[in-house]
Amino acid sequence: MLLKDKVAVITGGAGINGLGFATARMMAAQGAQVVIMDLERADPASAAARLGAGHLGLVGDVTDKAACEAAAEQVLKAFGRIDILVNNAGITQPVKTLDITGADYERILDVNLRGTLYMSQAVLPAMRQQKSGSIVCISSVSAQRGGGIFGGPHYSAAKAGVLGLARAMAREFGIEGIRVNCITPGLIETDITQGKLSPERKKEIEDTIPLARLGCAKDVAGACVFLGSDLAAYCTGVTLDVNGGMLIH
Burial of 169 (0-12, 13-18, 19+ CB in 10 A): buried
Within 8 A by CB and 6+ apart from 68, the residues are 60, 62, 115, 118, 119, 121, 122
CA torsion through residues 79, 80, 83, 86, sign: positive
- Tell which residue, 148, 145, 178, 144, has the closest CA to residue 164: 144
Could you give the residue numbers annotated as active site?
Answer: 155
DSSP letter assigned to residue 174: G
Question: What counts of helices (H) and strands (E) characterise the chain?
Answer: 9, 9
What's the maximum distance between 2 C-alpha atoms anywhere in the chain?
53
Could you tell me whether strands 56-59 and 7-11 are parallel, antiparallel, or unpaired per DSSP bridges? unpaired
**Cα(40)–Cα(43) distance, integer angstroms:** 5
Taking residue 66's Cβ as centre, other Cβ atoms within 10 Å add up to 11
* One-letter amino acid of 59: V
**Cα(150)–Cα(147) distance, integer angstroms:** 8
